[in-house]
């Protein structure tokens, strides 16, 4: 089989590697528009559950990634200068470029032919391939070329966010909420290397307009965010990498394949960064696609199998992500709550965690929360 993979992000790289490793006789070529050592963003996050899922199918890749990861077992929330920890919530993170470098090496060792700086202007150049795997991200050329056939839809969250890095080290995945005279901000921050952290700043549109960010340069916006989060950054600066203000895009496709073309990762669906599942979903898509192709030699039948098996799982995660994103669109209103009530609202925001599950998952936090409620304190 001759396969073209368009897009050299985690999903595309992982599919190319995983298929070639299991089918050495196949011809697998990967096309990426950027140079091999270039990416945007900073760190990516995996839950403990996500890593275990990957280990079940590919323990050697997990073993290659985990020594480069930073890990923790709790989340820290800070509101009005007070902090509370949510215990038992395990995550690990790794630099996006570090992850890509590892996956590039594994794909290369398996025999994948990777073509970087590959500018694709037409899909006609892929006419000779048996299968085209579109892992080309939010602005997927394949999806846009056949959006009616894929049943594509696109909408945006109202909040604005800018993705920065910083040399400030954070011990856990953390959320800091800050109210200013012109509006409220939230920062999602976590370390992904011993001396580097992701620092994603978010605000609602009213706050974004009050600060005039539409007319600010990247450097001016960065300076304002450094000032808003001066206490959190503790003297450290923010680092930009195409750190422009964005609205989160919601991409969905009712049909996951058309002819011999199939979508995966952000080209197919997006899940809000507040549940930290984008990279995980892309890699899980790749694994599911490999298994479907192995189960059925007829490509259209295999692609239908991929959609039938994977779509219900993704729909549940995307629904939870939309519920979580809705919480963030109204976080300034929830900042009026007491610290413990705010933390409870935060951890249950996606609808997937009820009090019983939270009691088992985070016994320390729930003991504090329930004691505060029983004592009639302003939780």
Distance, C-alpha 204 to centroid of its chain: 20
Cα 244-246-252 angle, rounded to 5 deg: 140
Whether 132 contacts 126, CB under 8 Å: yes
Is residue 377 predicted with pLDDT exceeding 70? Answer: no
DSSP H/E element including 174: strand 173-180
Q: Is residue 175 part of a domain?
A: no
DSSP H/E element including 319: helix 299-329
| CATH (domain of 17) | 3.50.50.60
Q: How many domains is the chain built from?
A: 2
Q: Is residue 163 part of a domain?
A: no
Residues 127 and 22 in one domain: yes
Highest mean pLDDT of the ranges 257-266, 320-329, 350-359: 257-266
Query: What is the rounded distance in angstroms from the CA atom of residue 69 to the CA atom of residue 88?
Result: 18
Report the range of poorest mean pLDDT among 105-119, 134-148, 303-317, 344-358.
Answer: 344-358
Residues 274 and 356 in one domain: no
Whether 256 contacts 150, CB under 8 Å: yes
Residue with more model confidence, 159 or 53: 159
* Mode of pairing for the β-strands spanning 2-6 and 131-134: parallel
Whether 9 contacts 267, CB under 8 Å: no
Q: Is residue 237 part of a domain?
A: no
Q: Which domain holds residue 357?
A: 337-374
Confidence of residue 379 (pLDDT cuts 50, 70, 90): low
Residues 135 and 59 in one domain: yes
Residues 251 and 367 in one domain: no
pLDDT digits (tens, 9 = 90+) for 193-245: 999 999 999 999 999 999 999 999 999 999 999 999 999 999 999 999 889 99
- Phi, psi dihedrals of residue 29, rounded to the nearest 5°: -120, 135
Is residue 184 predicted with pLDDT exceeding 70? Answer: yes
Q: Tell me, what's the pLDDT at 378?
A: 53
Residues 59 and 138 in one domain: yes
CB contact set of 61 (below 8 Å; sequence gap of 6+): 14, 17, 54, 102, 103, 106
The torsion defined by the Cα of 62, 66, 72 and 75, in degrees rounded to 10, comes to -50
Is residue 76 predicted with pLDDT exceeding 90? Answer: yes
DSSP string of 1-18, one letter each residue:
-EEEEE--SHHHHHHHHH
Q: Tell me, what's the pLDDT at 221?
A: 97
Is residue 292 predicted with pLDDT exceeding 60? Answer: yes
Residues 132 and 22 in one domain: yes
Residues 295 and 366 in one domain: no
Q: b/e string for 342-359 if b means 16 or more Cβ within 10 A?
A: bbbebbebbeebeeeebe
- Phi, psi dihedrals of residue 330, rounded to the nearest 5°: -125, 25
Confidence of residue 364 (pLDDT cuts 50, 70, 90): very high
pLDDT digits (tens, 9 = 90+) for 110-151: 999 999 999 888 899 999 999 999 999 999 999 999 999 999
pLDDT digits (tens, 9 = 90+) for 13-57: 999 999 999 999 999 999 999 888 777 778 888 887 777 878 888
Task: Provide the 3-class DSSP secondary structure of residue 295.
Answer: helix
Q: What mean pLDDT is predicted for residues 148-175? A: 96
pLDDT, mean over the chain: 93
Residues 251 and 323 in one domain: yes
Residues 45 and 144 in one domain: yes
Query: What is the rounded distance in angstroms from the CA atom of residue 96 to the CA atom of residue 34?
Result: 14
Residues 64 and 141 in one domain: yes
Q: Tell me, what's the pLDDT at 352?
A: 81
Whether 28 contacts 19, CB under 8 Å: yes
């Amino acid at each position: 089989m001759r396969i073209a993979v368009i897009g050299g992000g985690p999903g595309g790289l992982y599919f190319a590697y995983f298929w070639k490793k299991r089918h050495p006789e196949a011809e697998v070529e990967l096309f990426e528009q950027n140079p091999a050592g270039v990416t945007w963003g900073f760190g990516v996050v995996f839950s403990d559950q996500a890593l275990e899922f990957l280990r079940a199918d590919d323990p050697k890749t997990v073993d290659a990634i985990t020594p480069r990861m930073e890990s923790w077992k709790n989340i820290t929330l800070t509101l009005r200068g007070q902090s509370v920890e949510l215990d038992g919530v395990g995550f690990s993170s790794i630099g996006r470029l570090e992850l890509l470098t590892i996956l590039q090496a594994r794909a290369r060792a398996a025999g994948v032919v990777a073509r970087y700086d590959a500018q694709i202007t037409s899909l006609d150049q892929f006419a000779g391939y048996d299968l085209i795997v579109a892992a080309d991200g939010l602005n997927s050329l394949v999806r846009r070329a056949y959006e009616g056939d894929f049943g594509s839809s696109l909408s945006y969250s109202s909040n604005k966010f800018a993705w920065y890095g910083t040399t400030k080290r954070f011990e856990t995945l953390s959320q800091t909420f800050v109210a200013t005279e012109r509006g409220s901000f939230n920062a999602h921050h976590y370390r992904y290397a011993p001396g580097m952290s992701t620092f994603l700043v978010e605000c609602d549109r009213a706050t974004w307009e009050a600060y005039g960010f539409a007319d600010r340069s990247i450097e001016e916006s960065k300076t304002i965010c450094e000032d808003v989060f001066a206490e959190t950054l503790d003297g450290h600066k923010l680092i930009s990498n195409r750190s422009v203000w964005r609205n989160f895009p919601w991409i969905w496709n009712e049909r996951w394949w058309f002819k011999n073309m199939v979508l995966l990762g952000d080209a197919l669906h997006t899940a809000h960064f507040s549940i930290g599942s984008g990279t995980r979903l892309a890699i899980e898509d790749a694994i599911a696609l490999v298994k479907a192709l192995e189960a059925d030699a007829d490509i259209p039948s295999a692609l239908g199998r991929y959609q039938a098996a994977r779509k219900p799982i993704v729909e549940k995660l995307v629904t939870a992500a939309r519920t979580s994103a809705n919480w963030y669109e109204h976080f300034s209103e929830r900042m009026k709550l007491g610290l413990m009530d705010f933390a409870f609202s935060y951890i249950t925001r996606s609808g997937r965690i009820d009090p019983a599950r939270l009691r088992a998952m985070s016994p320390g936090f729930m003991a504090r929360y329930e004691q505060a409620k029983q004592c009639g304190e302003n939780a």
